[in-house]
Amino acid sequence: MELFDLTIHELHDRLKRREVSSVEATKAMLARIEATDATVNAFITVTPDEALKGAEEADKRIAEGSMDILTGIPLALKDIFLTQGVRTTCGSRILENFIPPYDATSWLKLKERGAVLVGKLNQDEFAMGSSSESSAFGPTRNPWNPDCIPGGSSGGSAAAIAARQATATLGTDTGGSIRQPAAHCGCVGLKPTYGRVSRYGVIAYASSLDQVGPVTRDVRDAAIMLGAIAGHDPLDSTSVERPVPDYTKSLTADVKGLKIGLPKEYFISGLDPDVQKAMDLAIETYRGMGAEFVEISLPHTDYAVACYYLIATAEASSNLARYDGVRFGHRSKDPKGLLDMYCKSRAEGFGTEVKRRIMLGTYALSSGYYDAYYLKAQKVRTLIMQDFLKAFGTVDVILTPVTPTPAFRIGEKTSDPLQMYLSDIFTIPTNLAGTCGISVPAGMSRDGLPIGLQLVGRPFGEEEIIRAAHAFEQATQWHILKASL
């Protein structure tokens, strides 16, 4: 097996036994990126010098016996995480040459444990998209079929795992942006409970919805990564002061007696036949392992997409007001005055989808419309949250599809934003409720594209969804399939 094929725990074992060095693993990963990224376009910035320097330091740690499970492991980050001294663009021309002066907390935690950064990953601009087509640096392509999208907005994070360009990656999930690309690329993607992981140093899209999480080859790696980045951060007032369990202890492969909810609103007639077949097989697999199924209702599901696109765009309008051409980022050349500089800098720096969402959000927050739109959406959000809490009174986890269809072709939905927005219909409610969810490989379409299974847990119920996801993974072979890139 090639070094770039290994999981975190497999590479750790080899590093521990001194069968390979971090420098060798990192060089193998950099060579893999060079060989494949012209096709995939998963990276915006590759950092060979920083990576090899980090790998050398990791090898010194290993030699000294102060080794962590992440020491020497080559990782990559969605380009939404601030990295001191390394360009951070958020997939936008407006931040094309921005060099942050400090690190995001989640990356700092990984770096302190000896992880190696091989680069920054492509994404939808400002995390606004479901397909990674809105990036100012060109679309990322799905390693399983380069004519198809990898999902979004963390498309680079999932594509890099599927193309074996990083051992693990970090993404962000505002409405499904980790779980959806993980499903389309045949990876594991974990969205933690809101407040479980610090958002400090993560460029904001919608602050009440954004959450940081890992994209990995298997569930064990997801548990390792979550354990490394979770925990209270005094620099993030929304992070929760709550002990971080050892998530790897949930990897029991035992779901006997686990009560799994099937929400009738998610198993709809418009579901792609291949997705429906994968869900049916997954349910039978869990039954065979002794899990129990309960039909549940999440009655306000139909309002989730509309609710999300009011709240998220309103928060985006506020968050993106700082990109004005004054303090950092793109500034228009030769403006006629201050107002002209603001207008031209934003018009030149932002792409079409970002402009669309800023305008939607500004309208929703404007005088006379705030109560009718934004305030009403917040009330609906509370109802959606109550739906989940009520369901978790009777079940341990909830099983749903991740997406209505497998990955679609690049360009297929760019002219119809509403169709694009509906790609996240099964993932958005989890963000609105602030709870946790995980996507695991659960099948293949007739066209050879991965299909994902979503497991949703109660708030801070990551241990339950990791346990259920790992059991399914151990009972099936979907996670070991590889894109033939």
The per-residue pLDDT for 154 is 98
What b-and-e string marks burial along 77-87, b requiring 16 or more CB atoms within 10 Å of the CB? bbbbbbbeebb
Q: pLDDT of 189-214, one tens digit each?
A: 999 999 999 999 999 999 999 999 99
pLDDT beyond 90 at 265:
yes
pLDDT at 417: 84
Considering the chain, what is the average pLDDT of its residues? 97
pLDDT of 294 higher than 90:
yes
Confirm whether 130 is a catalytic residue: no
pLDDT digits (tens, 9 = 90+) for 138-164: 999 999 999 999 999 999 999 999 999
Q: What is the pLDDT of residue 429?
A: 98
Check residue 160 and give its pLDDT.
Answer: 98
The pLDDT of residue 22 is above 90? yes
Confidence check: pLDDT of 422 > 90: no
Please tell me the distance from the alpha carbon of residue 248 to that of residue 231, in angstroms, as a whole number. 16
pTM assigned to the model: 0.97
Q: Exactly one of 22, 106, 131, 153 is catalytic; name it.
A: 153
List the domains of the chain with CATH numbers: 3-253 (3.90.1300.10)
* pLDDT-based confidence at residue 327 (cuts at 50, 70, 90): confident
User: Would you call 177 a catalytic residue per the annotation?
Assistant: yes
DSSP conformation class of 130: S
Catalytic residue among 92, 106, 157, 177: 177
Q: Is the pLDDT of residue 104 over 90?
A: yes
Q: Looking at the predicted structure, is the pLDDT value of residue 423 above 90?
A: no
> Which pLDDT band, with edges at 50, 70 and 90, does 1 fall under?
confident
pLDDT at 161: 98
pLDDT at 270: 82
Checking if the pLDDT of 123 tops 90, the result is yes
**Is it the case that residue 419 has pLDDT exceeding 90?**
no
> Which among 156, 191, 203, 167 is positioned nearest to 40, based on CA atoms?
156
Which pLDDT does position 6 carry in this prediction?
98
**Residue tagged active-site, from 78, 111, 120, 413:** 78
